[in-house]
Amino acid sequence: MTSTSKGIRAHLASHMRDYGLLFALIAIMAFFQIVTGGTLMRPVNITNLFLQNSYIIIMALGMLVVIVSGHIDLSVGSVMGFVGALAAVLIVNFSLPVPVTIMVCLVVGGLIGGAQGYFVAYWRIPSFIVTLAGMLVFRGLSLWLLEGQSVGPFPKSFQLLSTGFVPELFPDSWGAALAAVFGTRNFNVLSFALGLAAAATVIHMGLKKRARDLEYGIESEPASFFWGRTLIVSAALIFLMFKLSTFRGLPNVVVTMGALTLIYAFVTERTVIGRRVYALGGNEKAAKLSGIQTERLTFLAFVNMGVLAALAGLIFAARLNTATPKSGFSLELDVIAAVFIGGASMSGGSGKIIGAVVGAFIMGVMNNGMSIMGIGIDYQQVIKGLVLLAAVFFDVYNKNKQG
């Protein structure tokens, strides 16, 4: 066996989780595309897929930070429902302006996260217990706030958080010309242009990182793997944006979700505070001895989770156009499952933002595909549970094999 083939096998073995996630998502999408007769990848369904899973992905970003730091938050679904209920009461019952309501709700989310983080960080109460209590408390507060009834509808300006689309900036004639070329009824030039720009950025950043690794003598990804992964991701971005362009364009929530994903990926991978979070989850005692203020970092992780849960609650309420006492019920399970499917470790210290996003999409595609097929919610829960177990088993198996 040549040294090149050995290097490729070693790289594949050490990055099996990353490649496995990507190919698992592709395989699941291909499977449901076939069994649903092409319904899965229709533009309207792709748009719905993003709208249905945006709040899961947003909360998964915060949950990853919490889990990487060595903790867990079981209250996110209840906090999300409570904030949605608070927004409904403030807007519908008290006629508070939408921008003020959004700011108030985000602050309340941060305070809730801070309160839970305080007990976890400074009183050393296990996060499982604190957030389990929070789940019960805020579920009850949602019922009390709404008096057991649904409150709505919301004004159009609030609904734009979830149901709005980025307006077209290019001339209508351009869209009409491209619609004729591609044989579609509509074509949003801005969305397609952003897809091309995103794909170009992925290629550029990948080449830049690869050149930097080679410059510093860091063992780089084999060229075949690099170009295969980069071209697959770039082609997927262009394809998805093309599909969205033939419907109504780019949903506002996709912009929010994409911006947050980039910000959190940068913070966790390229900043000091991100490295400290991983150090905290890897070995709290060692992190504390090295000068990291572990209590404050844990506290901030929960504050961050509270703010993102509040944002998800606003988006969820805007999408439903009403707040109900059962909003967010059991969604914390989908969020936690997405993070673990994405490669995070229950013991803390490992996991990536992109993995959490891919894990959330895997869950979302499965939910959407099974619903299109008419599979009952009972079987859906069983299948999702087995997928979660298989993902964690695969992760543990690989770690034991490498160890």
Q: What is the pLDDT of residues 252-287, one digit of tens each?
A: 899 999 999 999 999 998 899 999 999 999 999 999
At which residue do the structure tokens 């490729």 appear? 8
Q: Quick one: average pLDDT of 169-183?
A: 88
Query: What CATH number did the domain enclosing 294 receive?
Result: 1.10.3470
* One domain, residues 396 and 297: yes
pLDDT of 13 strictly over 80:
no
CA distance 330 to 381: 12
In a domain, 3, yes or no: no
Q: Considering only 13-27, 119-133, 237-251, which range has the smallest mean pLDDT?
A: 13-27
CA distance 12 to 45: 34
* One domain, residues 138 and 260: yes
pLDDT the model gives residue 25: 86
Count of structural domains, the chain: 2
Domain limit, last residue, from 249, 284, 308: 249
Name the CA dihedral angle for 111, 252, 204, 182, rounded to a multiple of 10 degrees: 160
**Interval 218-228: pLDDT, tens:** 766 778 878 88
In a domain, 14, yes or no: no
Determine how many CB atoms are found less than 10 A away from the CB of residue 103.
11
pLDDT the model gives residue 403: 55
**Interval 279-317: pLDDT, tens:** 999 999 999 999 999 999 999 999 999 999 999 999 999
Question: pLDDT band for position 388 (50/70/90)?
Answer: confident
Per-chain mean pLDDT for the chain: 89
Q: Quick one: average pLDDT of 228-248?
A: 90
* One domain, residues 206 and 268: no
3-class DSSP string for 289-339: HCCCCHHHHHHHHHHHHHHHHHHHHHHHHHHHCCECCCCCCCHHHHHHHHH
Q: Quick one: average pLDDT of 187-209?
A: 91
pLDDT of 1 strictly over 60:
no
* One domain, residues 235 and 371: no
pLDDT of 134 strictly over 50:
yes
Return the ∠ at Cα 103 (arms to 101 and 108), rounded to 5°: 90
Paired with 151 in beta bridges are: 323
pLDDT the model gives residue 389: 83
Question: pLDDT band for position 14 (50/70/90)?
Answer: low
Question: pLDDT band for position 2 (50/70/90)?
Answer: low
Length of the chain equals: 403
**Interval 320-373: pLDDT, tens:** 999 999 888 888 989 999 998 888 887 788 889 998 999 999 888 998 999 998
* One domain, residues 119 and 142: yes
* One domain, residues 178 and 231: yes
Q: Quick one: average pLDDT of 54-61?
A: 94
In a domain, 100, yes or no: yes
pLDDT of 44 strictly over 70:
yes
CA distance 70 to 75: 16
CA distance 197 to 193: 6
pLDDT more than 70, % of the chain: 93
* One domain, residues 255 and 398: yes
* One domain, residues 351 and 398: yes
**Interval 86-110: pLDDT, tens:** 999 999 999 999 999 999 999 999 9
Domain limit, last residue, from 228, 249, 270: 249
Q: Considering only 87-101, 118-132, 151-165, 299-313, which range has the smallest mean pLDDT?
A: 151-165
* One domain, residues 227 and 286: no
Domain limit, last residue, from 249, 282, 305: 249
pLDDT more than 90, % of the chain: 52
pLDDT the model gives residue 302: 97
pLDDT of 237 strictly over 70:
yes
Domain span at 310: 20-164+251-402
* One domain, residues 256 and 111: yes
* One domain, residues 287 and 330: yes
In a domain, 11, yes or no: no
Question: pLDDT band for position 217 (50/70/90)?
Answer: confident
* One domain, residues 309 and 341: yes
In a domain, 211, yes or no: yes
pLDDT the model gives residue 56: 93
Comparing CA positions, the residue from 298, 324, 328, 335 lying closest to residue 310 is 328
More confident residue, 164 or 243: 243
